[in-house]
Structure 1
């Protein structure tokens, strides 16, 4: 095969985790050019990624026009973890000879090879099944990976005057019920300062500014970068950090890709969905409840009206997990943040 396409236009976290599939495809077909289609606006995530020939942004408009664009590139195969009807239709119209997708995808009959969607396994392992269905001898690499240069880390540290080791705190989420309480994040921030000597750096998008401000106002000496970074700068902050404390959201997967210690709060969602943090220093903070999980993405409000999955997950339950992932004191200054 001369040209191979990976198609993933879902959320940022899904896009980060598809890096394992990209690497495995590139290593298996070392002579081929590998391209990625992602949602427009997310292409910066894969800047400098050595396993890709190029990234093609898609704004999810004009199926026929975009299909024609893909057809003109003459791909030999496409692997699609994305399971929407739109994606299956678009790839069918692109005329790519080998189209590999999951059997649970919308309009899955439009794929030339349908692969069983495995539940209760991590997303990276699930995605790799697409490749193994075509090549059982594939060179599989299950570790997510992204690239950020030391220069990028240096510039973002300079931008926010980060002269000391720091921890990233990510209190936001698109889904309200996936957000741990701001006062709990604040308690963790104080703990990181007092017990670990780490400056808490709060991150988030423009939409996360209100919750980030609530956390920031409660932590002395914290730095609030919410709404002040682009994707590359967010990645650089995570790559340069000593530890990441986050909700079940994309910073979890960025931390995995940069091999960072990470503690992730799981409330309405569970590890069995396959989106937990990976790595030797990755921990999930959660408590057992009869009502968990309440949905794949959480929701706008607790269906039971008590929100115990987050309220009862107190900071005191999280402190030991932070100590565990940081027990060797191997902070960012001692690490090579580049890939």
Structure 2
């Protein structure tokens, strides 16, 4: 039996973008045993991939001794192929240890110099069509060559059961999500958040189409949502910010009519499942890698200081966040209407 190890420790959106590469192995290497090394808190997502998660505590990566001990344990499992889709100081020793034990390995290319120059010059220096998903697929093909040389340009999508799944949150279970739109307006980096006024006007606009959108976000976004609720009212929406598990979120996104999201995990989770998504990009630029798969639309505006960071940051140097505040609701709704039918 062929044994394959995929390594990606974090984060939720980045792990989501590894699925097409994992799916390629599953589809074209039948019978292979595929393990996935990741932080314990992301196991719920990896289980949806149909592979065997190897959950690890983040504390084990706090010092070199913990990393080297982990490297020895993993190398001892006798993998034929090891694909490091993280390629950072925490994972490289593990991959090298496996190589020294006879595994064929490949590292995801980071293009660090090109990324930093793009940010420094506020000019994207990447070829058209480059994406993190395509780089993950290419890394898998390099590691498993020539076994996957005949796969062409195929990009597998994650499929869930069509049967209704009872979600952990009672309020989430009451949502007729198949007729609804999900909005993910918040990120872990504040500069990528939609401005509160834009969120309000977007909800108000969707209400005119008899749509009551579902707002999702992580527990760390509760403060932003509370701030929004204290300012804006007289609009209809369902607030699930901080109320969904990873499994809840995946199932909501899978069954929704469409998703509108800033550059955060919801965008990529919906995308890898082949669902219609509208991605809103401000300080980050999709041409530097974080591109959702089709069917998708991108909403962005030209600002001379963009891109200003790789993952977004908590402070805008210009303070005005023009890359986000200049995005109008009309722009978002127009792209949404190109993807799905919305009638007044």
Name the TM tier (shorter chain): 0.7 to 0.9
The equivalent residue for 1:72 is 76
Q: 1:227 to 1:154 in 2, by over 3 A?
A: closer
Equivalent position of 2:299 in the other structure: 285
Structure 2 match to 1:132: 141
Q: Which residue does the alignment assign to 1:37?
A: 37
1:56 aligns with 2:68: no
Provide the TM-score with structure 1 as the length reference: 0.84
Q: Distance in 2 between matches of 1:249 and 1:237?
A: 16
Q: Output one character per residue of 1:183-213: Cα deviation in whole Å (capped at 9) or x when no partner.
A: 2112111222212x22211111110112223
Tell me what 2:104 maps to: 98
For structure 1, the 5+ residue unaligned runs are 107-117, 330-339
Aligned partner (choices 80, 89, 92) of residue 93 of structure 2: 89
TM-score computed with the length of structure 2 as normaliser: 0.83
1:220-299, aligned counterparts within 5 Å? 220-280=235-295, 282-299=296-313
1:240-274 C-alpha deviation (Å, 9 max, x unpaired): 21111111111111111222221111000112112
Matches of 2:155 and 2:3 in 1, distance apart?
Answer: 22
RMSD: 2.4
**1:210 aligned partner:** 223
Alpha-carbon separation, structure 1, partners of 2:340 and 2:289: 24
Structure 1 residues 310 and 48: alpha-carbon distance in aligned structure 2, compared to 1, 3 A threshold: closer
Structure 2's unaligned 5+ residue stretches are 61-65, 113-125
Instruction: Give the secondary-structure state (helix, strand or coil) at the position aligned to 1:239.
Output: helix
2:211 paired residue among 198, 206, 211? 198
1:306 offset after TM fit, Å? 2.5
8 Å contact kept, 2:78–2:103: no
8 Å contact from structure 1 (residues 85, 105) kept in 2: no
How far, CA to CA, are the matches of 1:146 and 1:172 in structure 2? 26
SS of match in other structure, 1:207: helix
Task: Name the SS for the 1:177 alignment partner.
Answer: helix
Q: 1:320 to 1:105 in 2, by over 3 A?
A: closer
CA change 1:328–1:166 in 2 (3 A) is closer
Q: Distance in 2 between matches of 1:49 and 1:153?
A: 19
Does the 8 A contact of 2:182 with 2:259 survive in 1?
yes
Q: Which residue pairs with 1:5 in the alignment?
A: 5
Partner of 1:306 in structure 2? Answer: 320
